[in-house]
């Protein structure tokens, strides 16, 4: 019998990434692992997964759940490090507004 851990290991995403997909789509973890695997097979799939994580972050912010926001920010950071093609061409979160560099 294949376990949820096996499915997660085979899908190419971390457990936290699968959990973020499950949270976003309101589906069981096993279905989220299958969806994540399917998405990651397509050129724009990593962007879709990243968008789900970002949506989860926004939802946690709206609920005032600072711990969940922090956890999801770590998930997003690790996802983008492993999947740089998912990152937007402009990183507004990494620019310092109102300052100039010399």
The answer as to whether 20 is a domain residue is yes
CA angle 50-29-77, nearest 5°? 25
User: Which tens digits make up the pLDDT trace of 42-85?
Assistant: 999 999 999 999 999 999 999 999 999 999 999 999 999 999 98
Q: Is position 98 within any domain?
A: no
How many Cβ atoms from other residues are within 10 Å of residue 93's Cβ? 8
Please check whether residue 2 lies inside any domain of the structure.
no
51, part of any domain: yes
Q: Which domain holds residue 53?
A: 7-88
> Is 42 part of any domain?
yes
pLDDT in tens, 10-47: 899 999 999 999 999 999 999 999 999 999 999 999 99
**Domain-located, residue 84:** yes
Dihedral (C-alpha) 50, 55, 60, 61: value to the nearest 10 degrees?
100
The pTM score is 0.83
Structure tokens at 8: 């997660």
Q: Is residue 100 part of a domain?
A: no
Count structural domains, the chain: 1
Give domain status of residue 40, yes or no: yes
């Amino acid at each position: 019998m294949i376990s949820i851990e096996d499915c997660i290991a085979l899908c190419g995403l971390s457990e936290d990434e699968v959990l973020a997909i499950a949270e976003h789509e309101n589906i069981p973890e096993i279905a989220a692992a299958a969806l994540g695997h399917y998405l990651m097979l397509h050129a724009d799939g990593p962007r879709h997964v990243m968008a789900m994580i970002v949506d989860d972050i926004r939802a946690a912010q709206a609920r005032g759940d600072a711990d969940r926001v922090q956890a999801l920010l770590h998930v997003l950071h690790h996802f983008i490090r492993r999947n740089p093609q998912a990152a937007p061409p402009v990183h507004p979160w990494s620019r310092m507004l109102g300052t100039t560099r010399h």
